[in-house]
Amino acid sequence: MNTKEVIYELRTKKGMSQDDLAERVFVTRQAVSRWENGETVPNTETLKLLSKLFDVSINTLLGSPRKLICQCCGMPLKDDAIIGHNHDGTFNEDYCKWCYADGTYTYNDMNDLIEVCVKNMVSENFTEEQVRSYMKGLLPKLDYWKRYDELSDNGQFEK
């Protein structure tokens, strides 16, 4: 689906007219009509309002152009339901809801996270050893841990 179809579907599912939607996100009915005709795409500020109104991520509104991956644990964010939220209720599309809850990061220690992943990921085909070495290779490549290293060098993460 692309943006015009996504907006049309979300609006009609909510039983809103183009006028209703226009009023909620402070644009004209013509603007809504242009989005749904595919002539224009909402600007960044309006996307934020739509995201909040419909409770879907901006990535979903844009027709899912990006493959979102949690930048802390590496989990693919295939569904808006597992994306983390900021304190104000908006989505933080960089993290899953387990690593980033209500504006707070869950993990300060990579080894803690690896232990959690080991518990959740071990299976017949994936031994504890394999999970551990997989996570040790994956995690340092993710944004959160890259940034964590920089910050901890500055003593910012010291307790």
| Least distance CB 75 / Zn ion (angstroms) | 5
Closer CB to Zn ion, 8 or 98, in the complex: 98
Pull the structure tokens for residue 57.
């991520």
Closer CB to Zn ion, 6 or 113, in the complex: 113
| Least distance CB 76 / Zn ion (angstroms) | 10
- Measured CA to CA, the distance from residue 112 to residue 58 in angstroms comes to 31
Contact residues for Zn ion, defined by CB under 5 A: 70, 72-73, 75, 96, 99
Closer CB to Zn ion, 60 or 92, in the complex: 92
| Triad 52, 58, 63: Cα angle to 5° | 130
| Least distance CB 11 / Zn ion (angstroms) | 31
| Least distance CB 69 / Zn ion (angstroms) | 9
| Least distance CB 80 / Zn ion (angstroms) | 14
Closer CB to Zn ion, 43 or 120, in the complex: 120
- Measured CA to CA, the distance from residue 128 to residue 37 in angstroms comes to 52
Closer CB to Zn ion, 41 or 82, in the complex: 82
SS3 letters across 14-51: CCCCHHHHHHHCCCCHHHHHHHHHCCCCCCHHHHHHHH
SS3 letters across 44-87: HHHHHHHHHHHCCCHHHHCCCCCCCECCCCCCECCCHHHEEECC
